[in-house]
Structure 1
Amino acid sequence: MSKNYQIDELSQLIDHTNLKPFADHAAIAQLCQEAKEHHFKMVAINQAQTAFCKQQLEETDIHVGAAIAFPLGQTTIEAKVFETKNAIKNGADEIDYVVNLTEVKEKNDAAVKDEMAQIVSICRTHHVISKVIFENAYLTKEEIIRLSEIAKEVQPDFIKTSTGFALSGATTEDVKLMKDTVGPNVKVKAAGGIRDAVTFIDMLKSGAERIGTSSGIAIIEELKEYMRQNGVDEIEI
């Protein structure tokens, strides 16, 4: 079912992202300022930047999103739990954590589910949004389906395609597969390689309800120009 979006509603679908390991305070302050100017939903940053971002975004409705066990996911559940709690203590409104791909490959669904359940439970307790990063570039379709089925049981707020650091990022095929499998109660976030308005819209049409990108400004400006040229203030998606 299609929906009409005004430009601010489209901006509110974007997680404005700077996950570069060398990002200094000036770069992160700029990220936060850009998020204010364009009213993006969230700034996506490495966990160590959480408190600084929270300060930068004080008295706004823009969320701070901390990346946990990023980008490899290869830490223990205990380490991820501590990192999640620490990020929330420092002001995180959203948590994006990377699954343990070794356990996925070993078909150890119990461990994958336990990790997901623990992190999602912490987020729920603190009224923080939870997102589970699959890293689809390294997964088979069967593994994507299996992870989505686990998420359907655990019910995080979102499942997410990619970190943006792998060989490839989001595809419309994977977004649709994830959404079809996980059902209506869990949302899908597409991230990785989304750099223009056409790709942005294609991801939404495929079932994504949040987009992670470092190209949010360019995408919104492209959408604004389309609206100007066509004399409309809404886009049907």
Structure 2
Amino acid sequence: MNIAKMIDHSLLRPELTTTDIRRGCDIAAGRAVASVCVRPSDVELAAAALAGTGVLVGAVAGFPHGDTRTSTKVAETRELVEAGADEIDMVLHVGRLRDGDAAYVHDDIAAVVAAAQGRVVKVILENAYLTDEQKILGCRLSERAGAHFVKTSTGFASGGATLADIRLMRATVSPHIEVKAAGGVRTLDTLLELHGAGATRFGATATEVILDDYAARERGEGPTAAAPAPDAGY
């Protein structure tokens, strides 16, 4: 099992400096993870730092609240693609989903998918604010709008990925739609449990801890001690 290729190394906290972003890209490249997920202003920096490494550059749109106008999300997505983003993690409009405004939510997502010009789009539902019925609706609308992933959380709300949510999301979308877990994925055991429930990609800041633990277990050394986790941002 290639755990590294399931991880999107998250570099989204507001206090991160350009030095922090470069260091995070070095970690991502050294560990050969799937991608880094960076703030919009850091896409060019990450693209340059990761050129030739095989690590993708992901960027967020409408982050973290999802309540910007669709036209703003579209313009942002186009700029991100031009700057070198390979994947887009967008936040749907949580309030409109809670309203049951299916047309608005669908069209908002579909517009971003079109603006991404074939790049992978992951739709963040922000499950902490939703009922199960709203989560199901959000997943179905995301699939109908052409998204490639449904994703649990931004990592900045009151809650993150849960086993129940991963199972619900996996059961709701078609097999070709993937599920990304984010928010609170700080240990290998958590990642493996969520993977068993159907998640195939994971947003994480504790990338090194998770991969060091996996390597230790592969060597038969048992679990390693977990490092303190940041308060927010996956």
TM-score grouping bracket, smaller chain normalisation: over 0.9
Aligned to 2:218: 227
Question: In structure 1, what is the Cα distance between the partners aligned to 2:112 and 2:63?
Answer: 14
1:47 matched to which residue of 2?
A: 40
Q: Which residue does 1:199 correspond to in 2?
A: 190
After superposition, where does 1:29-178 map in structure 2 within 5 Å? 29-123=22-116, 125=117, 127-178=118-169
Measured against aligned partners, the alpha-carbon deviations of 1:114-159 in whole angstroms (never above 9, x if no partner) come to 0111111222x2x311100000001111100111111232231101
What is the SS of the residue equivalent to 1:17? strand
Q: What amino acid maps onto 2:78 in structure 1?
A: K
1:16 alignment partner, one of 9, 19, 43: 9
Q: C-alpha distance in 2, partners of 1:62/1:27?
A: 17
* Equivalent residues of 1:155, 1:186 under 8 A apart: no
Alpha-carbon distance in 2 for matches of 1:48, 1:143: 32
Give the structure-1-normalised TM-score.
0.91
Counterpart-to-counterpart distance in 2, 1:114 and 1:53: 30
Shift of 1:58: 1.2
The 8 Å contact of residues 107 and 145 in structure 2, kept in 1 or not, is answered as no
Q: CA deviation at 1:216?
A: 1.1
Q: Secondary structure at the match of 1:173?
A: helix
SS at match of 1:12: helix
Query: How far did 1:230 drift?
Result: 6.7
Count of residues in Structure 1 that have an aligned counterpart in Structure 2: 222
| Matched-pair contact (CA < 8 Å) for 2:88–2:119 | yes
Alignment partners' CA distance in 1, 2:207 and 2:94: 28
Q: Matches of 2:98 and 2:195 in 1, distance apart?
A: 29
Higher-RCO chain (CA-CA 8 Å, sequence separation at least 6): 1
User: Equivalent residue of 1:143, what SS?
Assistant: helix
Tell me how far apart the structure 2 counterparts of residues 196 and 16 of structure 1 sit (CA, whole Å): 14
After TM superposition, give the deviation of residue 38 of structure 1 in Å: 0.4
Structure 2 contact 88–122 (Cα < 8 Å) conserved:
yes
Partner of 1:132: helix, strand, or coil? Answer: strand
Partners of 1:73 and 1:101 within 8 A in 2: yes
Q: Distance in 2 between matches of 1:10 and 1:183?
A: 23
Gaps of 5+ in 1: 232-237
What is the one-letter code of the residue matched to 1:121? Answer: A
Offset of 1:14 from its aligned partner? Answer: 0.2
RMSD value, Cα: 1.2
Q: Deviations over 1:160-200 (max 9, x none)?
A: 00000000100011011001001202100000001111101
